[in-house]
Amino acid sequence: MASDAFLLGQAIEVLRTYSLVGRDPSRQTLSVHRLVQAVLRDTLDASGKRLWAERAIRAVHATLPPVAYENWLQWERLLANAQACTEWLESEGVQLEETAEVLNQAGWYLTERARYNEAEPLLERAYEISIQQLGAEHLGMAIYLNNLAYLYGVQSKYEKAEPLFVRALEINEQQLGPEHPDTATCLNNLAELYRIQGKYEQAEPLFVRALAINEQQLGPDHPHIANALNNLASLYYVQGKYEKAEPLLMRALPINERQLGLEHPVTSFSLNTLALVYYAQGKYEQAEPLLMRALKNWEKQLGPEHPLTATGLNNLAELYIAQGKYEQAEPLLERALTIREQRLGPEHPDTAGCLDNLAALYYSQGKYEQAEPLFVRALAINEQQLGPLHPNTQITRGNYATLLRMMKREEEARAIETKITSSSRQ
């Protein structure tokens, strides 16, 4: 009947007549009233409920598209169905391999949309089921490990993320070999985690190796090549090696533009990083249009409340501060701070970055009393989340010491600088 539009339409009309189903032509969906669902379930015995739960999970699994930016609208329609699999898992004990895959895909989609609190239980449950279904050594486990580790990483749960990334790398190296593109992905993920933590010496050889594998296996114009180039360039940028970073980004940007499109969120990564390299070298006129373009793309494609939109706002505000455009910078930083506090949490390192920049803005305007509590809060977050030796912590501590000195509080400034020295000796 479902393959015949006329017969299907007739059947649906009969069901609608008795209010057994609802139809939404605009969304092309059918819904069954909860009371009708409950009655139908009550007519089933335990084995029947389990059978239909398994069928439903397999149906959802067959329907879900790949988790890619171009499929987000379809994913938003299907998300409730994917999340319902968790209920069936708990109520009927259905632990199919398809169940793990559905929860993993739904969790990854929610991670991409920065809905981390919703994503975490799904990815954790998917990981637990996959171990039971596949075994800890199965090649498929690398996907579950990588996704959960990435989620922990963006939430600054670095101690949880690292062993999962390491295990995923070991599985791929053992099962696929040291030169496989999936192995390169694992190398890249682990390297990025090290970069965020300021472990630059550990990150660089992994980034370099990942790039070499991708170039050898995928060809010069693959998006994975652009990603590897961008990540290695980001490492060089934070180390102040701008002459190394710029040519990598000049190569990555056109690849992303050709392969993904001018407005794709990933293309904006290259735009943003290249702009930061220009900004760090004082090339403000070259940096500004790139930052504005990246921000516009992220707002349009990801939404006004996404953490990457906050990144665009923060970076453009930094440029304005450097140019003395304080009135333009302040509302951008305030908006970026609000987004990061809401989406990442008040104790996240990226939140600390906004606090530090807003404090620097107030300092530049001579508003020392407004700047101080922001520096104090940013420093506390960085020390707790990144550690006393992380470059971001050192920068914030140095900024705070400079502020104290401008406020004629020399002893406190020296105490802060002494802490820098003592931390470096540990």
Looking at the DSSP assignment, which residues form a beta bridge with residue 29? Answer: 24
d(CA 38, CA 43): 9
C-beta of residue 237 within 8 angstroms of C-beta of residue 277: yes
Q: What is the pTM (predicted TM-score) of this model?
A: 0.88
Residue type for 279, please? Y
SS3 for 22?
A: strand
CATH architecture group of domain 303-426: Alpha Horseshoe (1.25)
The per-residue pLDDT for 424 is: 45
Does the pLDDT of residue 426 top 70, yes or no? no
Selection from 287, 304, 302, 376 nearest residue 339 by Cα: 304
d(CA 21, CA 14): 9
pLDDT tens digits along 187-240:
999 999 999 999 999 999 999 999 999 999 998 899 999 999 999 999 999 999
Bigger pLDDT: 415 or 162?
Answer: 162
Q: How far is Cα 47 from Cα 92, in angstroms, rounded to an integer?
A: 9
Has residue 95 got a pLDDT over 80?
no
366 pLDDT band, cuts 50/70/90, is very high
Q: Which helix (H) or strand (E) holds 32?
A: strand 29-32
State what percent of residues in the chain have pLDDT above 90: 80
For the chain, the average pLDDT equals: 92
Per residue in 50-67, pLDDT (tens digit) is 899 899 999 999 999 999
pLDDT at 425: 43
Position 420 scores a pLDDT of 56
Domain boundaries 138-218, corresponding CATH code: 1.25.40.10
Per-residue pLDDT at 26: 85
Q: What's the average model confidence in pLDDT over 328-350?
A: 95
Both tokens of residue 336?
């970026």
Q: Which residues lie closer than 8 Å to 73 by C-beta, 6 or more apart?
A: none
Best CA proximity match to 321, nearest among 335, 309, 331, 311: 331
Region(s) of the chain under CATH 1.25.40.10: 138-218, 303-426
Q: How many residues does the chain have?
A: 426
Cβ distance 322 to 279 under 8 Å?
yes
